[in-house]
Amino acid sequence: PNRQGAIETLRYGARAIARGAEVIRAGGLVAVPTETVYGLAADATDARAVARIYAAKGRPSFNPLIVHVRSLDEARSLAVFGEAALALAEAFWPGPLTLVLPRRSDAPIASLVTAGLDTIALRMPAHPAMRDLIMAADRPLAAPSANPSGGISPTRAEHVASRFREGLGLIIDAGATDAGLESTIVAPGPPLRLLRPGPVTAEQVQAVLGAVPGEAGARIEAPGQLASHYAPDKPLRLDATGAREGEYLIGFGDVAGDAQLSAGGDLVEAAARLFDCLHRADAAGSRAIAVAPVPAVGIGVAINDRLRRAATR
Ligand code: TXA
Ligand code: MG
């Protein structure tokens, strides 16, 4: 499948899914879109396949992975669901919410997936390509975002293809992803905590549970919490109202730039475009990147979270 070092890419469809399932069952890696970002999927029950994810990403092995499941039943065979966890799954699955729950001791998941923790991160994705792949492979799939460790998450197949030259068996291309930001990560607890802000907002979680999720503790529970993450190769300046010499400006609302998150000031559109704009800025001839201010309300909280980490070097 790998011709001249390039990774095989197939447009999403029956043939791509059949080929993807074949790669997964053989212990290989498949880049596949979800509604958030493209994931790098492997058989979560196969330790060697999971090890290949860490190798391909150059990811420190203590960072645990999210397991993608087809159904609530499958999720409950892997983790212990309390009342709050069930309420959240009912409200937001399938969709961009990951739950960190106590792992069942009999869960047939490679321990490398959870990096030795006694908790497991689970999510039921909504994107038909990821759902089809889980069904066709007939097993839960471990999948981090399909970028080299620490880099910008991919929202298009081209982002994956440009960052990986080898190590992947297949890229399934279904165009740009919807949400554009990684899933919200919640530990229902008690205590209820928001480990990573994302498309499902803290307000939405509060509306379901009647409680406000606490901030994650000082201990790093999700590397998405690392100060420097999602980083482009160039320095990045925040809250820019104009471009300085040599800067590529990413605009928002009234601030017009070389690329635009959302000319109309729409935060959902801005989230969907954020990583694509950062990839473009990185590829452009400029020395540095500047980004216009984005209001920290609703999904704007998650956008600002990713921007702060992208700006930290
Ligand atoms: O939207 C998403 O969540 C994407 C798509 C592909 O599903 N995946 C994704 O995976 O963003 P990744 O590996 O880039 O981020 C997973 C995050 C990491 O910050 C990891 O530390 C955290 O989930 N995580 C995984 N298992 C955990 C656990 N048991 N406890 C706390 N955090 C955990
Ligand atoms: Mg990631």
For residue 118, what are its two tokens? 């006694």
Residues 49-60, mean pLDDT to the nearest whole number: 86
Q: pLDDT band for position 217 (50/70/90)?
A: low
Q: Please work out whether the CB of residue 101 comes within 6 Å of at least one atom of ligand 1.
A: no
Top mean pLDDT of 1-15, 76-90, 114-128, 231-245 is at 76-90
Residues 219-228, mean pLDDT to the nearest whole number: 57
Which domains can be identified in the chain, with CATH numbers? 9-225 (3.90.870.10), 236-311 (3.40.50.11030)
pLDDT, residue 2, reads 43
**Lowest mean per-residue pLDDT among 50-59, 201-210, 225-234, 280-289:** 225-234
Q: Please work out whether the CB of residue 78 comes within 6 Å of at least one atom of ligand 1.
A: no
Q: Can you tell me the ipTM of this complex?
A: 0.98
For the stretch 66-80, pLDDT in tens is: 999 999 999 999 999
Residues 55-71, mean pLDDT to the nearest whole number: 86
Whether 4 has a pLDDT exceeding 60, the answer reads: no
241 alpha carbon – ligand 1 mean position (Å): 33
Q: pLDDT band for position 110 (50/70/90)?
A: very high
Q: Please work out whether the CB of residue 298 comes within 6 Å of at least one atom of ligand 1.
A: no
pLDDT, residue 221, reads 55
For residue 25, what are its two tokens? 């069952």
Task: Report percent pLDDT > 70 for the chain.
Answer: 93
Whether 276 has a pLDDT exceeding 70, the answer reads: yes
Task: Provide the mean pLDDT of the chain.
Answer: 92
Residues 6+ apart with CB under 8 A from 183: 36, 66, 96, 97, 98, 123, 196, 198, 199, 200
Indicate which ligand has the atom closest to the C-alpha of 185: 1
Q: Please work out whether the CB of residue 222 comes within 6 Å of at least one atom of ligand 1.
A: yes
Q: pLDDT band for position 51 (50/70/90)?
A: confident
Whether 124 has a pLDDT exceeding 60, the answer reads: yes
For the stretch 288-312, pLDDT in tens is: 999 999 999 989 999 999 999 889 8
pLDDT, residue 11, reads 98
Q: Which amino acid residue places its CA nearest to atom 15 of ligand 1?
A: 144
245 alpha carbon – ligand 2 mean position (Å): 31
Q: Please work out whether the CB of residue 117 comes within 6 Å of at least one atom of ligand 1.
A: yes
pLDDT, residue 232, reads 86
pLDDT, residue 55, reads 85
For residue 5, what are its two tokens? 């070092």
63 alpha carbon – ligand 1 mean position (Å): 8
